[in-house]
Homo-oligomer: A and B are copies of this chain.
Amino acid sequence: MTPSAATPAYRRLSVEERRSQLLDTALSLFAHRAPEDVSLDDVAETAGVSRPLVYRYFPGGKQQLYEAALRSAAEELRQCFDEPRQGPPLLRLSRALDRYLTFVDEHGTGFSALLQGGSVVETSRTTAIVDGVRRAAAEHIFGHLGVVDPGPRLRMTVRMWITAVEAASLIWLDEDKQPPAGELRDWLVEQFVAVLTVTAGRDAQTAALLGTLAGEG
């Protein structure tokens, strides 16, 4: 645990750089262990820095570290949804799903623990962070579809699909990442169209939207 001259501890980092290094370290640990099993000491050891340093950055302890790492992961997730508004909307959805599945792939266990809840470090604050990502995903979808004021049926359909995608990613992690990411992505896009088609039979706004999607491919 004693930092040697070879460890990153002696690189001079700015406060922001150091903070970001510690969060990256925490996220990499959460990828293989449940958040409650990761201590500040583990983060210090893995990052090759002294324990007091980590405690200085996260005086609130494990809970503060977890929330900060979660915020950072949520920010990364939101970036997955950032897709230029060009080309057929379903192709854009496909590309965003590619980035999302890469994120899920890289964050493994930490992602599951986070979404499955029941973690001892889960609070209403952490739930709000996760819900914020879900809301952002829905807003991105409506934006790309050109829907300004989604009605209740269209909104419910999109939110249900987002939840189903989350469930799919958790099951995917559980099942050794089968089917391959590319197949899962196409399957999820097909499901998106299928549930919109069902809703179109009950909702004029969704029917009009589907007409546009079919036209643009």
A residues apposed to B, CB below 8 Å? 116-120, 122-124, 126-128, 152-153, 155-156, 159-164, 166-168, 171-172, 175, 178-179, 183, 187, 190-191, 194-195, 197-199, 201-202
Instruction: Count copies of this chain in the complex.
Output: 2
Additional A-B contacts beyond A120-B123, A187-B202 (14; CB < 8 A): A116-B127, A118-B123, A118-B124, A118-B126, A160-B164, A160-B168, A163-B166, A163-B167, A164-B167, A190-B198, A190-B201, A191-B198, A194-B195, A194-B198
A156 & B127 in contact (Cβ 8 Å cutoff)? no
Q: How far is the CB of A112 from chain B (nearest CB, A)?
A: 12
Contacts of A126 in B (CB 8 A): 118
How many angstroms from the CA of A183 to the CA of B198 in the assembled complex?
13
A127: which B residues are within 8 A, CB to CB? 116-118
Chain B residues whose C-beta falls within 8 Å of the C-beta of A162 in the assembled complex: 167
CB distance from A51 to the nearest CB of B (A): 28
User: Which of A117, A126, A171, A179 has most chain B Cβ within 10 Å?
Assistant: A117
Q: Which residues of B contact A122 (CB under 8 A)?
A: 117-118, 122
Tell me, in angstroms, the Cα distance from A159 to B172 when the chains sit together: 12
